[in-house]
Structure 1
């Protein structure tokens, strides 16, 4: 991107980092959508819905205090530890496809993590408020600090630290999601909800979903690197 003004025109090469992150995110999103759409057309042999599978998986682990309920939206599935609810998008909740069952099982994997006190899940939950503040406040602080106090402003440094916390959140999220998928795939086979080729198909769905978290982490790291290059190592010469 070119900039003009009193300092003349110059190209900011660090924008390539943002572009790479955006391309990775878009590619991962396209992959998960295409994979989910493909296997959402494959009906499970048991004919169980996402809701049925979720309830059976939870009960198989002695978890009876978690509610399975539908929520609006496409791929808006999530587990909420505060309300003890596995929230499944309507396309997953009512569907009998192997893709829907895989997504439902993944969210149950988070409920299982919560049930056994899985440390990374607890750590992620603890850092959520700080990470949210960091992602929202980092850029305004960096910009205001640079305008008012220059590149060496304490506000700039605080902004970089806050954005780093958001990156740490992404870093913690990745193993939490991968572990939930492993739990899901193992139990789907053990409990007899899916079998044979269906397990491999579900593994592909959850593997594609995992790529979105890898891409999000990569994009965040690249953005942080860009901010450090632009602001972290500079000091005014006044």
Structure 2
């Protein structure tokens, strides 16, 4: 397995004291080294969970393993073989949150950047398929799967052809999985944040209305998952506005979306 120091800590579902085993739940989290993922990692650790933290940055992962309840896995999720090898020896999982992703904008739609499009789709959508292939058999009955999408799947936005398409794919994927995994007693959640201040969104060159912190986003997500909600969207004031506009004629919401993300 491709883990830090080429070792895998004692499996998180098997604590040293067997009497503690029934009290310890295990989360596998991708994109755990920054932004929302880092906030989720910290929050679940504070709640007493064991966290299997996945990412590509060995320096940031090495900081996480200072906590005894963290197992760090260094893996490039866009590489199927790496994903298969990295996740092959995992214990059973109570919760999987597939959070890793990237955002790049197509600044000139008339001169469409196909390589950028492929890069974003591979990172945000294709890699999720690799993870599902490796991880779904490990989720316990009564467990949960959460896919991190975006409020960009509610309305189309200017310059977001690649990012929005990838997140629209995540939304459909989550809805379909929720149907088919119900018989296996696995609940599925779709997480659709609005604007969240992260190293990724710090690169944005436009206004981000109702932007919240990663810690606030983590609170919304944890509360929604605790309630086993399917559609976890936040902040509600922002996402409900988007959902309301989506019900209006296309001519209006095309105008609205085009204005929202213009440079």
TM-score, with normalisation over the residues of structure 1? 0.29
- Which has the bigger relative contact order, CA under 8 A and spacing at least 6? 1
Return the index of the structure with the highest Cα Rg: 1
The structure with the greater share of residues assigned to helix is 1
The structure with the greater share of residues assigned to strand is 2
TM-score, with normalisation over the residues of structure 2? 0.27
